[in-house]
């Protein structure tokens, strides 16, 4: 008796309330999926996924080795599809796996191919149908588009922008949380305001870029002799700050609006242009002019992803120690002092004074001017794994860290706009605009008369996460932290709530309360204790040991929305004092709500219910030897406790497992694994507190009956290549059990004929002229079988006579159509008659002439039948 055990976590549906998960960030479950329509729009265009059988796979592999184009598979029809569909490429979905290749092939994964073709040639569904109809194709389907179920914006590349939202799902080199935590800001505060202007001191922005143009304001070139022109670096930086959001194309920008409301405005202060004589190098312009021009044209944030070049580290160190001087210093000071003010010193912009943000530099050294100039915000770069990017300059002078990426691994870089498209870049140049973008969001939300640049800097640095200080690139920027930083006002307390005991759990429901400085509570803590005094004057940062608690995040709920949670694992049948307190992002706690008493209830054992039509309690399940039954069993613990399931299968035929999608336990009974007979499976469900229930499931595996031939398959003649014939095997072989038999097909010459079994139907396709013998072994699941054989002749009707092989070494065959007396005369090279006989000959009964005694040479074979005479030249070797 074998025993299977499986732990089940959280079966109760109550726990599925999305807002109650501690792990969830706001808004990551806020979209209800709509049923997809089966139209072309739900599929990737120009791509289908195909699985071939072994024979065709061999041909295709040989073809691809030869040059990547299918040629030898001509007989399968692939070559025609290549032409008609405009196939661009065909490559393995699961690429060559090195030392794991043998087991990859054993699993059949080498037979899966992704076919990319010209999408204008044919719709994907039709393309898939075309492939599916070919001999040797086992599967052909279009590729359904994937989507991030929780995406806040519809920009298709947003899921790849881990630097905004990193849940660790992109790869093993992406750590959850290694982002700028901007999504909650978009959901709860702002997506940018066009009153805020960011000057991008960089290469020119591609102002006509589809994902930027709506947020582009103006620009000026500060490179002598050059007008504004699109530059890859500048456009990438600009896209990070304010690529247009929710427009259904490309990427997201941090302060790029929401599709309805525009984001912050960008001005391009061009200080680099691509050198037309050496595209790998840039021609520089006046950075000081550019910085000042930004302040004079309404910008309050100056974005600078550039630095000075030094020959040696020592030179950089010396410059660093000397500090910034010259016009750049003066321009920076000017920007900080005068941005946001008019010529009369009146604040006209959204912020009094400006901030200048600089990239720390990419030399992996401890120095970096102008970033190290104290008044500017110096930005270091981190990777998607909470590590300092290997290139990032570092030191105490670096004010803040942001994602700069690492393109040495897949999707490790920063994805943003480039002229005419999108690309992955890395560098502190890419980290810097993340800070500029968040700064722009802060100004968008908090900006207005009296809001100063120092307040902005306080929020940026104060809200940053400092748990990774060892990176020496400053604390990690946290957009939500910046927005909530400095809040000292706790959210409003919970005025009223409902509470209900469910076994030893207490479910509580209340409404989201507001926060005067953070709009709404960030989360709630539910507490319970058997001692009322423990809940009075509660210090939420150091809860007493006798207080049980559970926290709930508000997420994307708004003030006034209902929210609920559960305190679990309490004592059974015990009276508890309970309450709720709200807290903000800075862990300012409200007062505890009114304390109430709730008595927990007793423990209920899990309930086991078989959800299978053929199951009648108390009766044996009848299972035929070939059958595989899947019997869903619903194991429900109304108390919401964890449940473990133990299965005593009764025989090897029964196995049990949890089905993740349905949450049900599924018993799989495979009839052919155990010998026929009577058995019983016993299922025991036990909750985490030891309460259990048992279900006994008796079953009978019926004896197997072998398949048998009821009618032979007659020899057949096909008359052209590509001709298809179907054979209904149920007319020829029957299985008394009604089992779907497995057909193993052996064809003596697979270049001539292909047979594709589909259920009980054999699809026969002529591939070339000739004859072959077909052997079909029909087997049931227990290996009992019967065998049918027949011959197939593919014969060109315009050529009624076939003389083969030619050249001949021993026996020469002469085949005609219908059976009739046929005279065959063979003459030697000089005219000598060496064979002359008349005998009945037909398609399936060819004349067989022994020519092994004939000397090598040319021979004439004259065949006369039905009043016609044919002469063929045959060579004897």
Position 122 contacts another protein (CB under 8 A): no
Binding of residue 98 to another protein (CB under 8 A): no
Check residue 837 for interaction with another protein (CB under 8 A): no
Stretch that binds another protein, among 405-413, 425-433, 469-477, 851-859 (CB under 8 A): 851-859
Cis peptide before 415 (omega within 30 of 0): no
Please say which residue, 662 or 833, places its beta carbon nearer to another protein.
833
b or e along 276-307 (b: 16 or more beta carbons within 10 Å of the residue's beta carbon)?
Answer: eeeeeebbebbbbbbbbbbbebbbbbbbbbbb
Among 10, 387, 509, 827, binds another protein (CB under 8 A): 827
Query: Does residue 861 contact residue 812 with C-beta atoms inside 8 Å?
Result: yes
Question: Is residue 854 near another protein by the rule CB under 8 A?
Answer: yes
Measured from the CB of residue 727, what is the shortest distance to another protein in angstroms?
Answer: 21
- Counting contacts by CB under 8 A, is residue 746 touching another protein? no
DSSP string, 695-708: EEEEEEEPPP---E
Judged by CB under 8 A, the stretch of 34-42, 105-113, 368-376, 854-862 that binds another protein is 854-862
Q: Which of 82, 75, 90 is nearest to 121 (CA)?
A: 82
- Asked if 429 is an active-site residue, the reply is yes
Q: Which of 316, 826, 849, 863 binds another protein (CB under 8 A)?
A: 826
Nearest distance from C-beta of residue 789 to another protein, angstroms: 16
Residue 820 within binding range of another protein, rule CB under 8 A: no
Interface with another protein (CB under 8 A), residue from 852, 866, 867, 868: 852
- Name the nearest CA neighbour of 489 among 511, 466, 521: 521
Q: Find the shortest distance in angstroms from Cβ 848 to another protein.
A: 12
Q: What are phi and psi of 852, to 5 degrees?
A: -65, -25
Structure letter (DSSP) for residue 213? G
C-alpha dihedral sign at 487, 356, 319, 273:
positive
CB of 830 to another protein, least distance (A): 4
Residues 767-806 that bind another protein (CB under 8 A): 768-772, 793, 795, 802-806
Give the list of residues 6+ apart from residue 127 with CB closer than 8 angstroms, or none. Answer: 48, 85, 115, 117, 121, 142
Distances in Å between the Cα of 164 and the Cα atoms of 240, 296, 562, 622, 825 are 10, 31, 28, 56, 87
* In the complex, least distance from residue 860 CB atom to another protein, rounded to whole angstroms: 4
Bridge partners (DSSP) listed for residue 821: 840
In the complex, minimum distance from the CB of residue 113 to another protein, in angstroms, rounded to a whole number: 28
Continuous segment of H or E residues that includes residue 117: strand 112-117
Residue 388 or 876: the one with the smaller Cβ distance to another protein is: 876
468 is an interface residue for another protein by CB under 8 A: no
Closest CA to 580 of 467, 469, 670, 497: 497
Q: Is the bond into 373 cis (omega within 30 degrees of 0)?
A: no
Using CB under 8 A as the binding rule, whether residue 719 contacts another protein is answered as no
Which residue in the list 202, 206, 584, 639 is annotated as catalytic?
A: 202
Instruction: By CB under 8 A, tell whether 855 contacts another protein.
Output: yes
Helix (H, G, I), strand (E, B) or coil at 854: coil
Considering only residues 807, 818, 837, 840, which one is a binding residue for another protein as defined by CB under 8 A? 807
Instruction: Single out the segment in contact with another protein by CB under 8 A; choices: 111-119, 132-140, 320-328, 747-755.
Output: 747-755
Residue 602 binds another protein (CB under 8 A): no
Asked if residue 873 binds another protein (CB under 8 A), the reply is yes
Cα 652 to Cα 2: distance, rounded to the nearest angstrom: 8
Place of tokens 């005279």: 823
Total residues interacting with another protein, rule: CB under 8 A? 50
- Tracing tokens 């709509």 back to the chain, one arrives at 34
810 makes contact with another protein (CB under 8 A): yes
Reading phi first (left if > 0) and then psi (alpha if -120 to 50, else beta), residue 214 is in alpha
Q: Does 842 bind another protein (CB under 8 A)?
A: no
**CB within 8 Å of 768: residues ≥ 6 apart:** 75, 721, 751, 752, 794
The binder of another protein chosen from 749, 818, 819, 821 (CB under 8 A): 749
Q: Find the binding residues for another protein in span 51-80 (CB under 8 A).
A: none
Smallest distance, another protein to C-beta of residue 128, A: 32
Instruction: Find the binder of another protein among 415, 701, 741, 874 (CB under 8 A).
Output: 874
Asked if 757 is part of the footprint of another protein (rule: CB under 8 A), the reply reads: no
> Judged by CB, which is closer to another protein: 698, or 770?
770
Whose Cβ is closer to another protein: residue 326's or residue 831's? 831
User: Of 259 and 828, which has the nearer Cβ to another protein?
Assistant: 828
Applying CB under 8 A, which of residues 324, 859, 863, 865 lies at the interface with another protein? Answer: 859
Residue 661 in the binding site for another protein (CB under 8 A): no
Q: Which segment (172-180, 479-487, 513-521, 819-827) binds another protein by CB under 8 A?
A: 819-827
For another protein, what does the binding mask look like between residues 256 and 285, x meaning CB under 8 A? ------------------------------
Under rule CB under 8 A, residue 722 binds another protein: no
Q: Which of 297, 304, 185, 305 is nearest to 252 (CA)?
A: 185
| Residue whose CB is less far from another protein, 320 or 815 | 815
Residue with structure tokens 């490559």?
91
Contact 585, 481 (CB under 8 A): yes
Of the pair 200, 747, the CB lying nearest another protein is at 747
Please report whether residue 832 would count as binding another protein according to CB under 8 A.
yes
Other C-beta atoms closer than 10 Å to the C-beta of 587 total 11
Smallest distance from another protein to CB 821, Å:
17
Longest dimension (CA), the chain: 125
Q: Does 876 bind another protein (CB under 8 A)?
A: yes
Candidate list 19, 384, 429, 503, residue with the active-site label:
429
Of 528, 526, 502, the C-alpha closest to 640 is: 502
Q: Does 816 bind another protein (CB under 8 A)?
A: no
Cβ proximity of 825 and 841 under 8 Å = no
**Element of type H or E holding 138:** strand 137-144
For residues 649 and 699, the answer to whether their CB atoms sit within 8 Å is no
Cα gap 184→735, rounded to integer Å = 63
Phi, psi values for residue 462, rounded to 5°? -70, -30
Stretch that binds another protein, among 184-192, 318-326, 546-554, 865-873 (CB under 8 A): 865-873
In angstroms, give the least distance from the CB of 248 to another protein.
56
Query: What minimum distance in Å lies between the beta carbon of 770 and another protein?
Result: 3
Give 530 or 806: the residue with its C-beta nearer to another protein: 806
DSSP-assigned states of every residue in 437-448: HHHHHHHHHH-S
User: Should residue 123 be labelled a site residue for another protein when binding is judged by CB under 8 A?
Assistant: no
681 is an interface residue for another protein by CB under 8 A: no
Residue 41 in tokens: 């729009």
Give the H or E element holding residue 126.
Answer: helix 124-132
Based on the shown chain and the rule CB under 8 A, indicate whether residue 845 belongs to the binding site for another protein.
no
Q: Does 830 bind another protein (CB under 8 A)?
A: yes
Residue with tokens 């025609």: 80
Phi, psi (5° rounding) for residue 467?
Answer: -80, -5
* Residue of 233, 641, 732, 754 marked catalytic: 233
The least distance separating another protein from the CB of residue 787, rounded to whole angstroms, comes to 22
Residue the block writes with tokens 């593919």:
794
Q: Closest distance between another protein and the C-beta of residue 828, in Å?
A: 5
Three-state SS string over 146-202 comes to CCCCCCCCCCCCHHHCCCCCCCCCCCCCCCCCCCCCCHHHHHHCCCCCCCCEEEEEE
What is the smallest separation between the CB atom of 868 and another protein, expressed in angstroms? Answer: 14
Q: Is residue 750 within 8 Å of residue 637, measured between CB atoms?
A: no
- Look at residues 586, 581, 588, 512 and name the one whose alpha carbon lies nearest to residue 549: 581
Binding site for another protein (CB under 8 A): 748-749, 751-752, 768-772, 793, 795, 802-807, 809-810, 813, 815, 825-835, 851-860, 862, 871-877
Show which residues are catalytic. Answer: 202, 233, 429
């Amino acid at each position: 008796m074998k025993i299977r055990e499986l732990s089940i976590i959280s079966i109760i549906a109550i726990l599925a309330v999305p807002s109650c998960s501690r792990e969830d960030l706001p808004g990551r479950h806020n979209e209800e999926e709509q049923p997809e329509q089966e139209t072309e729009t739900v599929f990737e265009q120009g791509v289908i996924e195909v699985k071939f059988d072994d024979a065709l796979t061999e041909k295709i592999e040989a073809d691809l080795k030869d040059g990547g184009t299918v040629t030898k598979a001509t007989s399968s029809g692939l070559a025609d599809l290549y032409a008609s569909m405009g196939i661009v490429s065909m490559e393995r979905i699961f690429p060559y796996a090195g030392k794991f290749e043998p087991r990859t092939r054993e699993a059949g994964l080498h037979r899966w191919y992704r076919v990319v073709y010209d999408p204008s040639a044919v719709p994907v569904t039709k393309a898939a149908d075309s492939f599916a109809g070919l001999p040797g194709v086992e599967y052909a389907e279009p590729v359904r588009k994937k989507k991030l179920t929780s995406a806040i914006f519809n920009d298709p590349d947003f899921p790849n922008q881990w630097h905004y939202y990193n849940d660790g799902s992109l790869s093993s080199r992406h750590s959850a949380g290694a982002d700028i935590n901007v999504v909650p800001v978009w959901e709860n505060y702002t997506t940018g305001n066009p009153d805020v202007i960011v000057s991008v001191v960089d290469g020119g922005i591609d102002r006509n870029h589809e994902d930027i143009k709506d947020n582009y304001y103006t620009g000026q070139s500060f490179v002598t002799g050059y007008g504004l022109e699109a530059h890859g670096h500048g456009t990438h930086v600009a896209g990070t700050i304010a690529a247009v959001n929710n427009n259904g194309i490309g990427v997201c920008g941090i302060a790029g609006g929401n599709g309805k409301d525009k984001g912050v405005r960008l001005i391009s202060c061009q200080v680099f242009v691509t050198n037309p004589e050496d595209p790998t190098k840039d021609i520089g312009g006046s950075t000081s002019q550019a910085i000042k021009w930004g302040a004079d044209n309404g910008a309050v944030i100056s974005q600078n992803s550039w630095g000075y070049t030094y020959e040696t580290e020592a030179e950089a160190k010396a410059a660093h120690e000397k500090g910034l001087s010259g016009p750049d210093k003066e321009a920076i000071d000017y920007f900080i002092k005068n941005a946001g003010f008019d010529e009369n010193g009146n604040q006209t912009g959204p912020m009094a004074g400006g901030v200048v943000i600089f990239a720390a530099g990419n030399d992996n050294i401890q120095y970096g001017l102008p970033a190290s100039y104290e008044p500017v915000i110096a930005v270091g770069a981190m990777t998607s794994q909470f590590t300092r990017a290997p290139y990032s300059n570092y030191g105490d002078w670096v004010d803040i860290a942001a994602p700069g990426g690492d393109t040495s691994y897949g999707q490790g870089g920063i994805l943003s706009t480039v002229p005419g498209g999108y690309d992955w870049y890395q560098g502190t140049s890419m980290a810097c605009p993340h800070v500029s973008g968040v700064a722009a969001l802060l100004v968008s939300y908090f900006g207005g008369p009296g809001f100063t640049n120092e307040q902005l800097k306080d929020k940026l640095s104060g809200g940053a996460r400092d748990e990774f200080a060892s990176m020496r690139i400053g604390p990690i920027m946290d957009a939500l932290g910046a927005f909530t930083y400095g809040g000292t006002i706790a959210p409003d307390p919970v005025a009223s709530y409902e509470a209900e005991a469910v076994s030893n759990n207490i479910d509580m429901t209340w409404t989201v309360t507001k926060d005067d400085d953070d709009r709404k509570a960030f989360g709630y803590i539910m507490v319970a204790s058997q001692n009322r005094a423990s809940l009075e004057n509660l210090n939420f940062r150091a809860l007493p040991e006798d207080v049980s608690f559970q926290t709930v995040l508000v997420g994307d709920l708004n003030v006034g929305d209902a929210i609920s949670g559960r305190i679990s694992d309490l004592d059974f049948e015990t009276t508890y004092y309970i309450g709720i307190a709200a807290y903000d992002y800075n862990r300012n706690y409200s007062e505890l709500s009114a304390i109430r008493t709730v008595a927990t209830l007793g423990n209920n054992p899990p309930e086991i219910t078989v959800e299978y039509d053929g199951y009648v309690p108390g009766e044996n399940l009848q299972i035929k030897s070939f059958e595989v039954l899947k019997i869903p069993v619903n194991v429900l613990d109304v108390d919401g406790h964890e449940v473990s399931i133990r299965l005593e299968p009764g025989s090897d035929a029964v196995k049990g497992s949890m089905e993740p999608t349905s949450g049900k336990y599924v018993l799989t009974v495979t009839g052919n694994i155990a010998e026929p007979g009577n058995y019983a499976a016993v299922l025991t469900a036990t909750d985490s507190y030891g309460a259990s229930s048992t279900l006994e499931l008796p079953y009978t595996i019926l004896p197997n009956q072998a398949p048998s031939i009821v009618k032979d398959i007659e020899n057949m003649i096909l008359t052209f290549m590509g001709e298809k014939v179907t054979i209904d095997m149920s007319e020829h072989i029957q299985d008394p059990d009604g089992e779907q038999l497995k057909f193993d097909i052996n064809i003596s010459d697979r270049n001539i004929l292909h047979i594709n079994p589909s259920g009980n139907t054999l699809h026969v396709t002529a591939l070339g002229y000739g004859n072959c013998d077909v052997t079909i072994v029909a087997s049931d699941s227990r290996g009992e079988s019967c065998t049918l054989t027949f011959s197939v002749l593919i014969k060109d009707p315009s050529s009624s006579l076939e003389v083969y092989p030619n050249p001949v070494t021993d026996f020469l065959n002469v085949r005609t159509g219908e059976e009739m007396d046929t005279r065959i005369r063979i003459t030697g090279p000089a005219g000598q008659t060496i064979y002359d006989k008349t005998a009945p000959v037909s398609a399936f009964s060819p004349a067989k002439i022994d020519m092994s005694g004939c000397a090598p040479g040319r021979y004439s074979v004259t065949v006369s039948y039905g009043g016609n005479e044919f002469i063929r030249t045959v060579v004897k070797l």
